[in-house]
Structure 1
Amino acid sequence: MRRCVIFDLDGTLVDTPRGIVTTFAAVFAQLDLPTADSPTIRGTIGLGLPAAFAKILGVPEDEPVVTRCVELYRPTFRKIVLPVASQLVFPGVYDGLRSLRENGFLLAVATNRFVAPAEELLTAAGLRDEFSVVVGADQVPEPKPDPAAGLLVLDRLGVTPDNAVMVGDTTYDIDMARGAGMSSVAVTYGVHGADQLLSAGPTWLAGSFAEAVVSARRRRPASGSRSRTSRSPRP
């Protein structure tokens, strides 16, 4: 029986939110657009780039300015963040991923980045070889919170939803997991805080990557046997 753990990328495996804020600000400066404050930009992390820029600018996603922002974002991110990516990996990630693989879990990434820049970031961070599958927003009809990315991962790995768990730092990850019929671990060290994550009803809540690994190795609770959300014990 195959079991898998699917991870979000930004804010879950790699601490990129600060770099993302800096990149957004640099893009706005290049286009002579009004800058947005850090909380506003951070509030869009987890959305696809077109949706994020459209929300900040207050325009539809198909506006030309959004397309231009997205085009500038990727080379700007490469210049600002990729050179330091290995320093941004959250504590416990390398050891935690290795532990899961050694215990027979298949590992995957489902991100709202496009797959090429996701692969670039994982490679720069020294993480790409840990994952059997990487699914980006450009490979599915709709990005998270739509379940399409999770379902594509399951299809590629040959794993059923009952044997899969999603680990992420935003409600988009938790909603995707629910839509795909899998359990979820919400990590509180990323973009969304504990209260916001709890509102989405994750199976487990974890305050560190090590705690997330402990939860991911557990079987999902039987329906009605206990509350949907529980905190992982300290390892």
Structure 2
Amino acid sequence: MIFDLDGTLVDTPRGIITTFAAVFAQLDLPTVDSGSIRGTIGLPVPAAFAKVLGVSEDDPVVATCVDLYWSTFPKIVLPMAPQLVFRGVFDGLRSLREDGFLLAVATNKFIATAESLLVAAGLREEFSVVVGADQVSKPKPDPEAGLVVLQRLGVPAANAVMVGDTTHDVLMAHGAGMSSIAVTYGVHSVEQLLSANPTWLVDSFPGVVAAVHECG
């Protein structure tokens, strides 16, 4: 089982929005509405800043924003991480691992930030592998991150399932040849998720566990 991180395991979107706003304020950039920022969650951070600012990723302002984001995010989000874990995640992951499932994370966060967040949230020990955006040449929705996880775990795609809250996760699963579970409590709407044709659509983490047992 491969999990997305933001919006799937941990309710970081509100922390991400707060961090973006703090970055813009520190750089005296125009305020961006929270909906626009939320709509970029799931993309790599440079792509997200470029999108909300309406510039190309190689624009110097993007690099400045990204550097400031990485220094600001831990101060805002990490202290509250344990309280941001979605209902049912702690018990669900533990039961899945006890039932013999190999668990991994594939995220568009950089690996250092992903590891810090998982540790702060008390979740890191549940996962055998964590793959971040800076460990692959193309981030989600490209299938590379999923394929790297499968290679490290020695698991064929037919025996794997991707769990995520955005179309990026579902499309990655399709590209890698895996099943997918889309969760509706994260960033993308039900309509958006259905447009990517996930194998299952569930509205809670206990629903994820039930769906995996069904396909397992």
TM-score w.r.t. length of structure 1 = 0.91
Secondary structure of the structure 1 residue equivalent to 2:162: strand
What are structure 2's unaligned runs of at least 5 residues? none
1:125 maps to which residue? Answer: 121
Mapped pair 1:68 → 2:67: no
1:185 maps to which residue? Answer: 181
- 1:176 partner letter: M
**Structure 1 residue 29: deviation in Å?**
0.7
2:9 maps to which residue? Answer: 13
1:227 maps to which residue? Answer: none
What aligned pairs does 1:108-147 form with structure 2 within 5 A after superposition?
108-147=104-143
Q: Supply the distance in 2 between the matched residues of 1:152 and 1:63 (Cα, whole angstroms).
A: 30
Secondary structure of the structure 2 residue equivalent to 1:217: helix
**Structure 1 residue 218: deviation in Å?**
2.5
Higher helix share: 2
What aligned pairs does 1:8-47 form with structure 2 within 5 A after superposition?
8-47=4-43
- Aligned pair count reads 216
Q: Supply the distance in 2 between the matched residues of 1:51 and 1:217 (Cα, whole angstroms).
A: 35
1:99 maps to which residue? Answer: 95
Q: Supply the distance in 1 between the matched residues of 2:60 and 2:143 (Cα, whole angstroms).
A: 28
2:212 maps to which residue? Answer: 216
**Structure 1 residue 214: deviation in Å?**
1.0
What are structure 1's unaligned runs of at least 5 residues? 221-235
Task: Provide, for residues 140-192 of structure 1, a one-character-per-residue CA deviation record: whole Å limited to 9, x for no partner.
Answer: 00110000000000000000000000000000000000000000000000001
Secondary structure of the structure 2 residue equivalent to 1:109: strand
Q: Supply the distance in 1 between the matched residues of 2:113 and 2:26 (Cα, whole angstroms).
A: 20
Task: Provide, for residues 22-55 of structure 1, a one-character-per-residue CA deviation record: whole Å limited to 9, x for no partner.
Answer: 0000001111111100100000000000100000
Secondary structure of the structure 2 residue equivalent to 1:67: helix
When the two chains are superposed, the root-mean-square deviation of aligned CA atoms in Å is 0.8
What aligned pairs does 1:170-181 form with structure 2 within 5 A after superposition?
170-181=166-177
**Structure 1 residue 219: deviation in Å?**
2.2
**Structure 1 residue 100: deviation in Å?**
0.5
Secondary structure of the structure 2 residue equivalent to 1:106: coil
**Structure 1 residue 208: deviation in Å?**
0.1
Secondary structure of the structure 1 residue equivalent to 2:105: strand
Identity rate of aligned residues, in percent? 74
- 2:63 partner letter: T
